[in-house]
C-alpha cells in the first residue's frame, strides 16, 4: 500500500472511493509537515504483505545517487530515481538469504566444493585461498570470484550444479547441512541457475514471528519462504542477478554490490518496546518505520499520534479502529497527528501493523 506506478490504490472516505494519490493531493495536510517538507508532498513508503512459496530473485536495490544515474541511463529498466531500502518482519517462520557470509566461511565452502572451484577457475580459487584478512584486497579478489560465478558459461553452470546436486542427494537427508538443504530447495525451483551457488556465499537467516531484517542499499538478498510484512521506500528499482526468469542485469549488480563480510545476526533489526502493546521497528532511514500493535481480546488501547501519515493493516483479530470495523486484510490511512483508538472484540488478539515516515521523532 502506497504509491507505485504499476498499482492503482484507492481510499474510501464517507462512502466515496477515490484514487489514493489524488486524495492525498487534495488533502496534503494528512501527510504531516515534515513529510511534506522532506518528500515533496508525497507518501514516501510502501507497505506489503508477502507470502513466499517459491524463492524470489537474488537482487539488490541501488542507493539514491546510483538510482538517479541508472534511471538516466536506462529509463525503461529503472523507472524512478529513488532508493529502495526495505524491512521484512516475519509473520511466520521466514527464510531468506541476506548479505555475504564471513570471509573464512566462504573460503571453506569453496574449498569443500569442487563444483564451485570448477566454475570460479583455478587461478581465482588460488588467490581466494590466500586471502587472510577482511580488507580491501580480499574484497577485490572476492568481487572477481563472485563475478566469475554469476557470468560463467551456462553449459558449465548447468553441468556443475547437476554434479553438486547429485552429490548432495547421495547424502542421507538427516545429516545434510543447512546449506545443503537450502541448495536443494532453490535448485529444485531454478535448476541450472547460477544463483543456486549463492547459497554457499550468502548468509541464511530464518526468522521467527516478530523478528526482522533490514536491507540497505546494495545488500544482496533473496527471500526464500514464509510470510512477512514488508515496508520500503517508495520505489520499484530492483537489480536482479539470479533465481528468476525476469531480466537480469548482472554487470550492474556486480559493480554496485557492497561486498561486506558479516555474520547473519548483523542483518537483524531489533525492535524497541514502546509499551506492552506496541513495538517499533526503526531502520536507519527517514522514508519509513513500522509499529506492531497487539491488543488482547476485549480490551482497548490508545496509540499516541504519529507526526507522519500512517498506513495501518490488520493481520489478525477483529474490533474497531477509531470506531471503524477492523478485520484481517483491512487497511486504513491515518492522517498525521490523528489519535488512534483500538478496541479488540474477538477471542483472539487484534494485531495491526502501521507504516509511517521515520521523521521528527516517533510520536507527537
Q: Which amino acids are annotated as binding site, given as ranges?
A: 59, 61, 86, 221
Q: How far is CA 44 from the centre of its chain?
A: 16
Q: Give backbone dihedrals phi and psi of 43, rounded to 5 degrees, phi first.
A: -65, 120
Q: Beta 221-233 vs 86-90: how paired, if at all?
A: antiparallel
Nearest Cα neighbor of 238 from 84, 64, 39, 30 is: 84
> Which is catalytic among the residues 139, 147, 176, 240?
240
- Collapsing DSSP to helix, strand or coil, 196 comes out as helix
Helix (H) or strand (E) run with residue 314 in it: strand 310-316
240 a catalytic residue:
yes
CA dihedral 258, 264, 266, 272 (to 10 degrees): 130
Q: Enumerate the known binding-site residues for Zn(2+).
A: 59, 61, 86, 221
Residues 201, 221: Cα–Cα separation, whole Å = 11
CB proximity list for 123: less than 8 A, separation 6 or greater? none
Angle between helices 103-112 and 136-150 in degrees, nearest 10: 40
Instruction: Identify the helix (H) or strand (E) that includes residue 287.
Output: none
Quote the radius of gyration of the chain (alpha carbons, Å): 22
Active site residues: 240
Amino acid at each position: 500500500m502506497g504509491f507505485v506506478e504499476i498499482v492503482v490504490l484507492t481510499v474510501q472516505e464517507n462512502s466515496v472511493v477515490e484514487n489514493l494519490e489524488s486524495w492525498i493531493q487534495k488533502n496534503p495536510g494528512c501527510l504531516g509537515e515534515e513529510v511534506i517538507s522532506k518528500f515533496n508532498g508525497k507518501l514516501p513508503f510502501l507497505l506489503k504483505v508477502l507470502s513466499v512459496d517459491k524463492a524470489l530473485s537474488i537482487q539488490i536495490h541501488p542507493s539514491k545517487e546510483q538510482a538517479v544515474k541508472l534511471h538516466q541511463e536506462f529509463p525503461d529498466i529503472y523507472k524512478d530515481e529513488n532508493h529502495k531500502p526495505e524491512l521484512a518482519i516475519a509473520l511466520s517462520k521466514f527464510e531468506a538469504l541476506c548479505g555475504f557470509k564471513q570471509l573464512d566461511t566462504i573460503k571453506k565452502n569453496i574449498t569443500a566444493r569442487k563444483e564451485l572451484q570448477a566454475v570460479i577457475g583455478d587461478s581465482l580459487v588460488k588467490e581466494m585461498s590466500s586471502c587472510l584478512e577482511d580488507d580491501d584486497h580480499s574484497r577485490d579478489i572476492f568481487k572477481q570470484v563472485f563475478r566469475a560465478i554469476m557470468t560463467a558459461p551456462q553449459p558449465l553452470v548447468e553441468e556443475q550444479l547437476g554434479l553438486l546436486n547429485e552429490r548432495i542427494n547421495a547424502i542421507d537427508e538427516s545429516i545434510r547441512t543447512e546449506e545443503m538443504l537450502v541448495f536443494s530447495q532453490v535448485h529444485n525451483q531454478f535448476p541450472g541457475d547460477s544463483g543456486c551457488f549463492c547459497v554457499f556465499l550468502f548468509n541464511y537467516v530464518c526468522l521467527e514471528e516478530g523478528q526482522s531484517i533490514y536491507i540497505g542499499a546494495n545488500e544482496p538478498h533473496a527471500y526464500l519462504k514464509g510470510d512477512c510484512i514488508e515496508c520500503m521506500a517508495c520505489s520499484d528499482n530492483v537489480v536482479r542477478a539470479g533465481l528468476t526468469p525476469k531480466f537480469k542485469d548482472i554487470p550492474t549488480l556486480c559493480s554496485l554490490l557492497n561486498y561486506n563480510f558479516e555474520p547473519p545476526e548483523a542483518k537483524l533489526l531489533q525492535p524497541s518496546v514502546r509499551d506492552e502493546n506496541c513495538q517499533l521497528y526503526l531502520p536507519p532511514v527517514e522514508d519509513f518505520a513500522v509499529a506492531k500493535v497487539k491488543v488482547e481480546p476485549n480490551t482497548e488501547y490508545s496509540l499516541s499520534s504519529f507526526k507522519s501519515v500512517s498506513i495501518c493493516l490488520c493481520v489478525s483479530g477483529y474490533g474497531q479502529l477509531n470506531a471503524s470495523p477492523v478485520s484481517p486484510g483491512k487497511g486504513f490511512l491515518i492522517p498525521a497527528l490523528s489519535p488512534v483508538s483500538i478496541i479488540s472484540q474477538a477471542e483472539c488478539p487484534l494485531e495491526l501493523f502501521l507504516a509511517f515516515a521515520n521523521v521528527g521523532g516517533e510520536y507527537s
